[in-house]
Amino acid sequence: MLTMSTCVVYPVFVARARPARPRKHPLVYHHGNLRRALLDEALTTIRDGGVESLTLRAVGARLGVSRSALYRHFADKRALVSAVGAEGFRLFRTQLTAAWERAGRGRAGFEAMGIAYVQFAVTNPSHYRVMFGGFLDPNGSDPDLLNEASRTFHVLVDSLAEQQRDGLVRQGDPRQLARFVWAVVHGVATLAIDGQLETMKASPDELARFAVEQLRTGIARRAHSTGPA
């Protein structure tokens, strides 16, 4: 637990456990922007080699800083990765709404958003995995991450609710519909980035388009009832 607001008075007269070593290099401080620098460095490291490749020592070394300097700005490694995940959700949400708006909302906008979803995952696999991969428990300690994930989900809910008002999507709890739609695109995305589609000899984009098509005929309001099951 990090207590930031308490003022700690350090005792000055303590028995020296070890003698002080002479310093080879002068100390260089980052002064204030180290937190941001650590975050950026973690971001590019994860982008290039995945979460597994992220080591605090390497991040520190690349920034010319001790391996434990990080602990002044993040509680631990998890907290650093959480911050990267939260940033990922912000970028993700921007791209989803952009696709939705650019295609003029409605049916075309919804399909464009589905394609954009899978494309984000395929383009940023490491980032996507941090956000969803179970490395972070979403009910965990970071409220920022939780908030960003929740806001992203509501982009989908709002889109579906609007389409219901316009008669493009059949009635029902928009949150329930949104969960189903999310599961579909999330399924395509994770199969794609985990290389499972190659086993099945399929391209991510092709499957994404097919999935969005099937999704539409599944949730679209139909002119003729097919009768009870």
Chain positions contacting a second copy, by CB under 8 A: 129, 132-134, 137-139, 146, 149-150, 153, 175-176, 178-180, 182-188, 190-191, 193-200, 202, 207, 210-211, 214-220, 222-224, 226-227, 229
Cβ at position 195, least distance to a second copy in Å: 5
44 lies in the binding site for DNA (CB under 7 A): no
User: What is d(CA 108, CA 100) in angstroms, rounded to the nearest whole number?
Assistant: 8
Identify the CA nearest to 212 among candidates 111, 119, 116: 111
Identify the CA nearest to 27 among candidates 74, 64, 61, 73: 64
Cβ at position 78, least distance to a second copy in Å: 12
Cβ at position 40, least distance to a second copy in Å: 24
Among 62, 67, 90, 102, binds DNA (CB under 7 A): 67
Among 39, 47, 50, 71, binds DNA (CB under 7 A): 71
Cβ at position 80, least distance to DNA in Å: 8
CB < 8 Å & 24+ apart, contacts of 221-226 = 221/167, 221/168, 221/169, 221/170, 221/171, 222/170
User: What is d(CA 127, CA 122) in angstroms, rounded to the nearest whole number?
Assistant: 10
User: What is d(CA 173, CA 150) in angstroms, rounded to the nearest whole number?
Assistant: 17
Question: For the chain, what's the residue count?
Answer: 229
User: What is d(CA 51, CA 44) in angstroms, rounded to the nearest whole number?
Assistant: 10
- Whichever of 30 and 186 has its CB closer to a second copy, that residue is 186
Contact partner at residue 215 from DNA, a second copy, none, CB < 5 to 8 Å by partner kind: a second copy
Interface residues toward DNA, by CB under 7 A: 7-8, 10, 14-18, 20-21, 23-25, 27-32, 34, 54-58, 60, 64-69, 71-73, 76-78
